[in-house]
Amino acid sequence: MFKGLAIAYRNELSRCQSCGMPLAYDRHPRPGQIYCSYCHDGASFLNEGTTLRAMQDKVDALLVARRAPPLLRLYMRLRLMTLQRWRGSALSRSQGAGAVKARE
């Protein structure tokens, strides 16, 4: 049981805590990073004014372009709410799982 939790925790840390991209795919990795270089330049967010909803739409559009199945797209919309940057945001608190829909 603890081994499974440790693996899940390590996987959580190996994703950008803003967009959910696996950090292994980052083109400009930095030691100890928690955000990818597409979201953060090391000093500040590149998309400072973006909202959770805007990030969900951006990630969804990327997944549509890659022909990801609707269930995966829905999963990522929900998953973004759990990432460090978005935890506690107004959208995360106001919307339950039933309110978020994958768009075709």
Q: Which residues of 4-23 are buried (b: 16+ CB within 10 A; e: fewer)?
A: eeeeeeeeeeebbbbbbbeb
Confirm whether 49 is domain-assigned: yes
| CA distance linking residue 60 with residue 69, whole number of Å | 11
43-95 confidence digits (pLDDT tens): 899 988 899 999 999 999 999 999 999 999 999 999 999 999 998 875 555 55
- How many domains, in total, are found in the chain? 1
Confirm whether 6 is domain-assigned: yes
pTM score, whole prediction: 0.71
Confirm whether 82 is domain-assigned: yes
Confirm whether 93 is domain-assigned: yes
Confirm whether 29 is domain-assigned: yes
Confirm whether 104 is domain-assigned: no
88-100 confidence digits (pLDDT tens): 875 555 554 444 4
Confirm whether 41 is domain-assigned: yes
Write the burial class of residue 3 (CB in 10 Å: 0-12 exposed, 13-18 middle, 19+ buried).
Answer: exposed
Q: Quote the pLDDT of residue 98.
A: 41
Confirm whether 88 is domain-assigned: yes
Structural domain range at position 75: 2-99
